[in-house]
């Protein structure tokens, strides 16, 4: 099978992106201090999180599979994460 990048794979998924609000917020200070920033970058299979040059964590929330792994490993206060609003987010066609 041809090797594909994560963005190439995600491009085959269907998403309804909530243009008005992100369902994910990172507290940069706590994320940096607790190591949560690096941990969520690694754990997310969709690479929603990236560490920028200045050390902050950027969030590509539209790519989220809504599994909740990042929230499960995050230090208290580092991450605010909820499901997207009804009907928004990933729309699995197979599952």
Partner 1 sequence: MSDVTTATEGVEPDFDVIVIGAGVAGCVAAYLLAQAGRSVVLIERGDTPGAKNLSGGVLYSRVLEEVFPDFLTEAPIERTITRNYIQFLNGSSSIGIDYQDDRLANPVNAVTVLRATLDAWLAEKCEEAGVFLMAGVRVDAVLKENGRVVGVRAGEDELRAHVVVAADGVNSFIARDAGLRTKEPTNHLALGVKAIVSLPEETIRERFHLSGDEGAAYAVVGDCTMGVGGGGFMYTNKASLSIGVVLRLDDMTAKGYASSDVFDHFIAHPFVAPFLKDGEISEYASHLVAEGGLSMVGQIETDGMVVVGDAAGLTLNTGLTVRGMDLAAASGIAAATGIDQALTAGDTSKVGLAGYRTALFASFAGKDMETYAKAPAFLERERMYTRYGQLLGDILYGVFNHDLTPRRRLMSVARGELKRSPVRMRDLMSDGIAGVRAL
Give the integer Cα–Cα distance in Å for 2 and 55: 33
Report whether 70 contacts 27 (CB < 8 A). Answer: no
Residue 9 binding partner 1, by CB under 8 A: yes
**H/E stretch holding 51:** strand 49-51
* Residue in 44, 57, 59, 79 binding partner 1, rule: CB under 8 A: 44
* Residue in 33, 42, 55, 77 binding partner 1, rule: CB under 8 A: 42
Give the integer Cα–Cα distance in Å for 25 and 92: 23
**Is the CB of 7 or the CB of 55 nearer to partner 1?**
7
Residue 24 binding partner 1, by CB under 8 A: no
3-state SS class at 90: strand
Residues that bind partner 1 in the complex, under the rule CB under 8 A: 1-4, 6, 9-10, 12-13, 16, 38-39, 41-47, 65-69, 71-73, 82-87, 89-95
């Amino acid at each position: 099978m041809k090797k594909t990048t994560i963005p190439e794979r995600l491009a085959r998924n269907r998403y309804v992106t909530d243009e008005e609000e992100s369902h994910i917020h990172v507290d940069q200070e706590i994320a940096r201090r607790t190591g949560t920033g690096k941990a969520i970058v690694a754990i997310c299979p969709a690479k929603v999180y990236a560490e920028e040059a200045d050390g902050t964590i950027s969030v590509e929330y539209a790519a989220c599979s809504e599994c909740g792994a990042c929230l499960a490993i995050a230090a208290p206060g580092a991450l605010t994460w909820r499901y997207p609003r009804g009907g928004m987010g990933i729309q699995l066609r197979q599952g």
